[in-house]
Amino acid sequence: MIKLTIDNRPVEVPDGSTVLDAARSLGLNIPTLCFLAGVKENRPSCMACVVRVNGDTRLVPSCSTRVTAGMVVASETPDVKAARRAALELLFSDHLGDCISVCQRACPAHLQIPETIRLVAAGKMDEAIALVKENIVFPGVLGRICRAPCEQGCRRKQYDGPVAIQLIEREVADLAGQRYVPACAPATGKRVAIVGAGATGLSAAFFLLKLGHRVTVFDDHAEPGGQMRAAALPAGVLEADIETIRQIGLEYRGSQRLGQNFTLDELRPQYDAVVLAVGGMAQTDYRQLGAAATERTIRISPVNFETSVPGVFAGGTCIRASYDPARSVGDGKLLAECVAGHLAGRSVQIGVKEFTSTIPKLTTEEYRQLLNGANSALTVHELIGEAQTAAGRCCHCDCRAANDCKLRVVAENYGVNPKAFAGEHRRAFEIIRQPGGVIFEPGKCISCGICVAIAAQAQEPLGLTFIGRGFDVKVGVPLAGTLADGLQKIGAECVRHCPTGALEFER
Ligand code: SF4
Ligand code: SF4
Ligand code: SF4
């Protein structure tokens, strides 16, 4: 047995172990990308696992460095972490992929756009309705009055026009009718008062009701809906969306004006949390609302929407300079998350952006690769009533591995800036499809060699190999074979262990 210390902690491991083995036996989480125990161990390339040994200036990969007696390893120091981050940023300098699609990132209401589109394209309308309604409580309204920034961002826009995302959302909403009744968690016994029955207040009410809380919404108008009532909407659209909230227990108290018919200090003892979701609150004299506060104006935390008065939250047009219905709907969802966190006694932080790498502008030929199989150009007018055809135009630019990509997880943990080393040169965008099976995106490959080693170990007749040299090296099938030739037996295993979305199943 060999004794050493890692981060000042003593550890004893069998002779022949690596520093990574020793670190893992201590429960330390050293990231690895190109290492796969029992298959590929000794040729490190990603450098995500570097550590400092015995104070050396040079860092070494822990996956291939053998332990020696008395070794002193530093695995968590700021310089080691910075080196790992730099190694990851170098990988992203040559990485071509959208982890999250541009349309998804642009939606202020947080609709799961690509997944919704894929369900519609597959004709799974009940599932599409449930997904849309779970995420957006006003799809009928937003399907008509949203400014559709998703379509502005849609990758296909630069080629032959965006996917008609708003039309798809609208047609799913119209189809929903009364078919969808949201499932709610068991009653929590907690009560929330929401002041303001516009897009933010009602959206917050919906998500809090779904979590099992009792919600009462107050508004100075007789009917709920706020500024959405002033929008040019076909009859019944707003009511149909609001009906979903009524179905799960919305308690509405109309013609009740805060500061006139009731005060904040009257509400607070009766409810476990109060949400202010009325426009212009940021400029309001707080004391006029009947609150025993010393400040003249409400201070709102940008971290969790809680105001300077504990248990009172504020969001939506309260804190925004202008009204955007989709953003207001999205704000309601975030407010609900913050209030639910408060009621459960846990802290919530909003505004944490998910990590994503981004494909730069593509050439026409690269667009053709991306579009493979997607429906051809059609105008929105031609697509009315044809949501499934419209959905078939989406080219699935979100990464198929986004939820289990090891590279992305590690990048997020290390605060990686994927553009830190962005340069002029980039790889060509390419997708290689094995019909009905594996799809290979060379732009997402980090040349870890795991698939090459798996194929070799399984004695694939042709297998995979590295082609080229230096920075331009890439994984490919020898003798110009197809992917199907190279991966006859072991494709699924390669997909499972690929640390990125370079190898995935065509879904
Ligand atoms: S392979 Fe990973 S890092 Fe690359 S685009 Fe896909 S999810 Fe993002
Ligand atoms: S092509 Fe599809 S996934 Fe890509 S941005 Fe457009 S709608 Fe979103
Ligand atoms: S395709 Fe192969 S070499 Fe490339 S990242 Fe995936 S497993 Fe590694």
pLDDT band of residue 345 (cuts 50, 70, 90) is: very high
The ligand with the least distance to the CA atom of 35 is: 3
CATH of domain 191-335: 3.50.50.60
Tell me which of 463 and 25 has the higher pLDDT.
Answer: 25
395 CB within 6 A, ligand 2: yes
85 CB within 6 A, ligand 2: no
Residue 182, pLDDT score = 87
165 CB within 6 A, ligand 2: yes
What are the structure tokens assigned to 507, written together?
């879904």
Residue 470, pLDDT score = 66
Read out DSSP for 339-404? HHHHHHT-------PPP-----PPPHHHHHHHHTTS-----HHHHTT-HHHHHTT----B-TTTTT
Residue type, 477: V
pLDDT band of residue 287 (cuts 50, 70, 90) is: low
pTM (predicted TM-score): 0.88
Chain segment 98-108, per-residue pLDDT in tens: 999 999 999 99
What are the structure tokens assigned to 220, written together?
């100075």
Residues 6+ apart with CB under 8 A from 18: 41, 62, 63, 64, 65, 66, 67
Asked if the model's pLDDT at residue 282 lies above 60, the reply is: no
Residue type, 360: P
Residue 179, pLDDT score = 73
Chain segment 419-437, per-residue pLDDT in tens: 998 877 888 899 988 776 8
What percentage of residues in the chain have a pLDDT greater than 70?
93
Instruction: Output DSSP code: residue 428.
Output: P
Lowest mean pLDDT, pick from 76-80, 262-266, 281-285 = 281-285
3-state secondary structure of 336: helix
- Residue 148 CA, ligand 2 centroid: distance in Å: 13
pLDDT band of residue 360 (cuts 50, 70, 90) is: confident
What is the fold of 421-505? Alpha-Beta Plaits (3.30.70)
Asked if the model's pLDDT at residue 353 lies above 70, the reply is: yes
Number of other residues whose CB lies within 10 A of the CB of residue 177: 11
Tell me which of 223 and 373 has the higher pLDDT.
Answer: 223
- Residue 310 CA, ligand 3 centroid: distance in Å: 51
Residue 286, pLDDT score = 53
**Residues paired with 258 in a beta bridge:** 262
130 CB within 6 A, ligand 1: no
Residue 280, pLDDT score = 58
Provide the residue ranges of all domains of the chain, joining segments of one domain with +: 2-76, 102-179+359-391, 191-335, 421-505
The answer to whether residues 212 and 246 touch, using CB atoms and an 8 Å cutoff, is no
Which range, 133-142, 304-313, 363-372, has the best average confidence (pLDDT)? 133-142
Q: Can you give the C-alpha Rg of the chain in angstroms?
A: 27
Residue 8, pLDDT score = 94
What are the structure tokens assigned to 247, written together?
């179905």
| CA distance linking residue 374 with residue 250, whole number of Å | 42
Single out the residue of 207, 145, 139 nearest to residue 169, CA to CA: 139
Residue 26, pLDDT score = 95
400 CB within 6 A, ligand 2: no
448 CB within 6 A, ligand 1: no
- Residue 128 CA, ligand 2 centroid: distance in Å: 16
Which residue's C-alpha comes closest to atom 4 of ligand 3?
Answer: 445
3-state secondary structure of 196: coil
- Residue 407 CA, ligand 1 centroid: distance in Å: 7
Residue type, 65: T
Residue 117, pLDDT score = 96
Q: Using DSSP, how many helices (H) and how many strands (E) does the chain show? A: 20, 15
Chain segment 192-240, per-residue pLDDT in tens: 999 999 999 999 999 999 999 999 999 999 999 999 999 989 999 999 9
Residue type, 410: V
99 CB within 6 A, ligand 1: yes
What percentage of residues in the chain have a pLDDT greater than 90?
64
Lowest mean pLDDT, pick from 19-23, 158-162, 205-209 = 158-162
| CA distance linking residue 192 with residue 208, whole number of Å | 8
Residue type, 118: R
Residues in the chain: 507
Q: Which residue has the tokens 């119209």?
A: 174
**Residues paired with 3 in a beta bridge:** 12
Which residue's C-alpha comes closest to atom 2 of ligand 3?
Answer: 451
pLDDT band of residue 17 (cuts 50, 70, 90) is: very high
| CA distance linking residue 398 with residue 318, whole number of Å | 33
400 CB within 6 A, ligand 1: no
Angle CA(239)–CA(240)–CA(243) in degrees, nearest 5?
A: 80
Ligand 2 atom index nearest CA of 153: 5
Q: Which residue has the tokens 């369900």?
A: 119
pLDDT band of residue 485 (cuts 50, 70, 90) is: confident
Give φ, ψ of 286 to 5 degrees. -55, -40
3-class secondary structure for 304-318? CCEECCCCEEECHHH
Residues 6+ apart with CB under 8 A from 246: 252
- Residue 60 CA, ligand 1 centroid: distance in Å: 26
Average pLDDT estimate for 310-331: 86
Tell me which of 380 and 170 has the higher pLDDT.
Answer: 170
Residue 351, pLDDT score = 76
The answer to whether residues 433 and 439 touch, using CB atoms and an 8 Å cutoff, is yes
List pocket residues of ligand 3, CB cut-off 6 Å.
Answer: 445-451, 475, 498-500, 502-503
277 CB within 6 A, ligand 2: no
Residue 75, pLDDT score = 95
Residue type, 74: A
- Residue 474 CA, ligand 3 centroid: distance in Å: 9
- Residue 495 CA, ligand 1 centroid: distance in Å: 14
| CA distance linking residue 478 with residue 485, whole number of Å | 9
Asked if the model's pLDDT at residue 487 lies above 90, the reply is: no
- Residue 453 CA, ligand 1 centroid: distance in Å: 21
Would 2-76 and 191-335 be classified into the same CATH topology? Answer: no
Residue 109, pLDDT score = 95
Tell me which of 91 and 375 has the higher pLDDT.
Answer: 91
Residue 302, pLDDT score = 80
402 CB within 6 A, ligand 1: yes
The ligand with the least distance to the CA atom of 36 is: 3
Residue 173, pLDDT score = 93
- Residue 396 CA, ligand 2 centroid: distance in Å: 6
Ligand 1 binding pocket mutation candidate from 405, 419, 475 (most atoms within 8 A of CB): 405
The ligand with the least distance to the CA atom of 501 is: 1
The ligand with the least distance to the CA atom of 400 is: 1
Question: Does the 2-76 domain belong in CATH 3.30.460.80?
Answer: no
| CA distance linking residue 129 with residue 138, whole number of Å | 12
Residue 357, pLDDT score = 94
Single out the residue of 333, 344, 345 nearest to residue 188, CA to CA: 344
Residue 94, pLDDT score = 87
- Residue 113 CA, ligand 2 centroid: distance in Å: 8
Read out DSSP for 205-249? HHHHHHTT-EEEEE-SSSSS-GGGGGS---TTHHHHHHHHHHHTT
- Residue 445 CA, ligand 3 centroid: distance in Å: 5
- Residue 121 CA, ligand 2 centroid: distance in Å: 13
Which residue's C-alpha comes closest to atom 5 of ligand 3?
Answer: 445
- Mean pLDDT taken over the chain: 89
pLDDT band of residue 288 (cuts 50, 70, 90) is: low
